[in-house]
A = this chain, B = another copy of it.
Amino acid sequence: MDTCISRLDYMVERLKEKGFRITPQRIAIVEILANSCDHPGVDQIYREVIKKFPTTSLATVYKTITLLKEIGEVMEMGFGDECNRYDGKNPHPHPHIMCVKCKSIADPDLSSLDEISRELNMETGYKIVSHRLDFFGVCPDCQKSSE
C-alpha cells in the first residue's frame, strides 16, 4: 500500500502515472526534495545534483521543480527576498518557522488551521483553496551564538 513506499518512490510513481519520463536527473532532484528536511532552495538542489550528474543544467532543475509543483508534489514557499525554498516532503499547506539569521526552516506543530479557513470562508464569502502561515524568528542555536 501507499504507506509502505517511500516518498521518493511515491513521487516517481506520480511522475510515471502522469506520463512523464523518468530520467536520472529527475530522480536525483526528486530524491533531494523527498529526503531533505531543510527545505532547500534551487541553487542548493542544483549544487547537490551536479555532484551526481556534473553536466546537469540549472534549467533542468527549474523545469523539474516546475513540473513537480504542477502535479502538486512540491510546494513553493515563496520567500521572495532570498531565492525560493521548496518542501517536497509535505507539499500541502502547513505552518513553517524560519530563522531570520541562519535561514533554516522547520515545521512546528500547530493545529486548528483548517478551522480558521472554514471560519474565514463563512466570514468573507471567499472560497479558500490554500493558505500559508509562516513565522519568522531566531532559532535557539542563533540565540546562543549571538550572546
Binding site for B on A (CB under 8 A): 78-81, 84, 97, 99-100, 106, 108-110, 116-117, 119-121, 123-140, 143
Among B80, B109, B116, point to the contact of A79 (Cβ < 8 A): B80
Q: Please indicate the chain B residues that have their CB under 8 angstroms from the CB of A109 in the complex.
A: 123
Q: Whose C-beta in chain B lies nearest to the C-beta of A135?
A: B131
Q: Whose C-beta in chain B lies nearest to the C-beta of A84?
A: B80
Q: Please indicate the chain B residues that have their CB under 8 angstroms from the CB of A97 in the complex.
A: 120, 124, 126, 128
B120 near A99 with CB under 8 A, answer no
A126 near B110 with CB under 8 A, answer no
A100 near B129 with CB under 8 A, answer yes
User: Shortest CB–CB separation between residue A109 and chain B, in angstroms?
Assistant: 7
